[in-house]
């Protein structure tokens, strides 16, 4: 499949966000687009884990919600506790009065990507791979178009370029769009969750009913969540034919005094984190495990490390080479749009990242088709209001999510040495646990936690 010389819309990046943008364009009756990706094969990471009700509703609008739901596990009572017991749980079941999806859906990112990619292929669209963008410039003959150059020397001309190419977006960088933390810069580096590790593992003696649980320990936060059996089936069909046993996602903060996390965390390294920060019921030490028998990691299927930080693009809509002046006349330069991690990043607290990106992409499909039709009857300066409004709304939503995740991270990352005040020698972590325990007994607070996580108030 050869790359065409030109297209109306070029989508750069074929992860979940880029695929959703393509599906949204198709849903709105627009097919003159090309989607490219830098890697030969997609579906390479299971990093994102949860799809929330607001995102499932948005996926419903382009006919993909049920396909995603069929591949995941529904959870209505995600818990948070200490190493020895539950402190509180969020109630998502009450959301049934607001949505047909009153639950959080556990589904790894590569399975979500697989479902969206399969849907796109069934509609006759293929991803051009591997094509890595290395430059963009205005077309010499038409200033409203952009020439996009790739590493292999090929070039495509597009009227719209959609950057769905991740946190290190070449589209964003080449367009000269700033990318900074909008509030409390470097606050994450002061937390004991400044660096974290995620892994998909099997346990040698794990019970089948380990719930979705976050564990607050003395100086870290630990997550354990069951993965859907469909993920086992997917992995067996894609490079792990000998995989046996139920898969679990584990995640843990690693104190900075432990040093840098290894590039490829070993089974022994991960087991040490489980034993230090996980619930006692998952400990490999029978003397502390309440079941009096050790539970050990059997296999590590995937693992990664990362540092928590937040940033947002100055804008998710511009024209290439635009000075941003308000001088009269028609705007010049091809249109550049950003969605997903290219437009904003934040910590994984609350599982909001991929959700926000998917909603960006799906709403962009509607805005973009409206703009395309508007340019046929209106001056560009008037038509561009559609994309400016889209960008303003998505920027506001991203700021809300960044604020939410920073707040969650500060709660989860309370350090044991931080006292409430000098005359009251009680650690902030202890007070945090008391507050969560009290709040966890109040149905109103359980529902509020569920509402905040759901995203229904900030699509």
DSSP secondary structure letters along 258-300 = G-PPPSS--HHHHHHHHHHHS-GGG-S-TTT-TTSS---EEEE
Q: Which strands, in side-by-side order, build the sheet including 73-75?
A: 50-51, 104-106, 73-75
- Six-digit token string for 4: 């065409």
SS3 state of residue 199: strand
The H or E element containing residue 419 is strand 419-421
Each residue's pLDDT expressed in tens, for the chain with a length of 459 residues: 799 999 999 999 999 999 999 999 999 999 999 999 999 988 777 889 999 999 999 999 999 999 999 999 999 999 999 999 999 999 999 999 999 999 999 999 999 999 999 999 999 999 999 999 999 999 999 999 999 999 999 999 999 999 999 999 999 999 999 999 998 766 555 567 889 999 999 998 755 567 889 999 878 999 999 999 999 999 999 888 889 889 999 999 999 899 999 999 999 999 999 999 999 999 999 999 998 788 999 999 999 999 988 999 999 999 998 754 444 566 889 999 999 999 999 988 888 889 999 999 999 999 999 999 999 999 999 999 999 999 999 999 999 999 999 888 888 876 655 655 655 667 777 888 888 899 889 999 999 999 999 999 988
Instruction: Report residue 362: phi and psi, to 5°.
Output: -70, -40
Which pLDDT does position 94 carry in this prediction? 96
Beta bridge partners of 86: 81
How far apart are the C-alpha atoms of 183 and 186, rounded to whole Å?
A: 9
Closest to 36 in 3D by CA, of 10, 17, 16? 10
How far apart are the C-alpha atoms of 18 and 37, rounded to whole Å?
A: 9
Instruction: Report residue 353: phi and psi, to 5°.
Output: -60, -65
Residues in the chain: 459
Q: Please give the C-alpha separations between residue 222 and each of 79, 196, 270, 276, 387, in angstroms, as whole numbers.
A: 12, 10, 11, 10, 40
Q: Half-sphere exposure (CA, 13 Å, Cβ side) for 77?
A: 9
Under 8 Å between Cβ of 19 and 357? no
Please report where in the chains the tokens 């749009």 appear, as a residue. Answer: 337
Which pLDDT does position 123 carry in this prediction? 97
Which pLDDT does position 164 carry in this prediction? 98
Beta bridge partners of 136: 148
How far apart are the C-alpha atoms of 53 and 224, rounded to whole Å?
A: 21
Under 8 Å between Cβ of 91 and 444? no
- Six-digit token string for 144: 């409203």
Which pLDDT does position 188 carry in this prediction? 53
Q: Could you tell me if residue 43 is left (phi over 0), alpha (psi between -120 and 50 degrees) or otherwise beta?
A: left
- pTM comes to 0.93
How far apart are the C-alpha atoms of 28 and 164, rounded to whole Å?
A: 19
How far apart are the C-alpha atoms of 269 and 20, rounded to whole Å?
A: 36
Exposure string over 94-119, b if 16+ CB within 10 A, otherwise e: ebeeebebbbbbbbbbbbbbbbbbeb
Q: Please give the C-alpha separations between residue 65 and each of 23, 89, 101, in angstroms, as whole numbers.
A: 12, 25, 10
Which pLDDT does position 325 carry in this prediction? 44
């Amino acid at each position: 499949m050869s790359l065409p010389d030109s297209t109306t819309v070029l989508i750069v990046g074929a992860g979940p966000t880029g695929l959703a943008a393509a599906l949204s364009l198709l849903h709105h009756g627009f097919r003159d687009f090309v989607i490219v990706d830098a890697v030969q094969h997609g579906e390479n990471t299971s990093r994102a884990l949860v799809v929330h009700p607001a995102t499932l509703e948005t996926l419903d609008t382009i006919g993909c919600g049920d396909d995603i739901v069929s591949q995941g596990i529904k959870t209505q009572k995600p818990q948070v506790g200490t190493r020895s017991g539950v402190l509180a749980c969020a109630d998502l079941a009450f959301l049934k009065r607001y949505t047909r999806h009153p639950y959080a859906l556990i589904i790894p990112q590569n399975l979500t990507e697989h479902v969206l990619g399969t849907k796109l292929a069934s509609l006759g669209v293929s991803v051009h791979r591997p094509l890595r963008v290395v430059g963009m410039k205005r077309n010499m003959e038409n200033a409203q178009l952009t020439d996009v150059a790739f590493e292999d020397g090929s070039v495509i001309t597009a009227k719209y370029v959609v950057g769905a190419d991740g946190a290190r977006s070449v589209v964003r960088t080449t367009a000269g769009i700033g990318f900074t933390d909008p509030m409390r810069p470097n606050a994450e580096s002061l937390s004991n969750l400044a660096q974290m590790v995620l892994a998909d593992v099997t346990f040698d003696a794990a019970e089948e009913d380990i719930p979705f649980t976050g564990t607050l320990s003395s100086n870290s936060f630990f997550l354990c969540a069951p993965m859907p059996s469909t993920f086992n089936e997917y992995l067996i069909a894609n490079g792990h034919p000998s995989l046996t046993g139920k898969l679990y996602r584990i995640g843990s903060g690693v104190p900075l005094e432990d040093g840098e996390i290894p590039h490829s965390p070993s089974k022994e390294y991960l087991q040490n984190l489980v034993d230090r920060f996980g619930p006692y019921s998952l400990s490999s030490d029978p003397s502390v495990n309440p079941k009096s028998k050790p539970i050990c990691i059997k296999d590590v299927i995937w693992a990664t490390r990362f540092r928590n930080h937040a940033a947002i693009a100055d804008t998710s809509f511009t024209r290439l080479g635009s000075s941003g002046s308000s001088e009269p006349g028609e705007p010049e330069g091809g249109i550049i749009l950003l969605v997903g991690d290219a437009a904003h990043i934040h910590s994984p607290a609350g599982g909001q990242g991929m959700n926000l990106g998917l909603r960006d992409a799906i709403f962009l499909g509607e805005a973009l088709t409206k703009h395309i039709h508007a340019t046929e009857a209106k001056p560009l300066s008037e038509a561009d209001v559609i994309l400016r409004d889209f960008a303003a709304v998505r920027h506001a939503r991203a700021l809300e999510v960044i604020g939410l995740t920073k707040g969650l991270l500060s709660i989860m990352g309370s350090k044991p040495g931080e006292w409430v005040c000098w005359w009251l020698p009680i650690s902030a972590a202890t007070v945090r646990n008391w507050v969560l325990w009290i709040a966890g007994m109040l149905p109103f607070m359980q529902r509020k936690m569920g509402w905040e996580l759901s995203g229904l108030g900030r699509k």
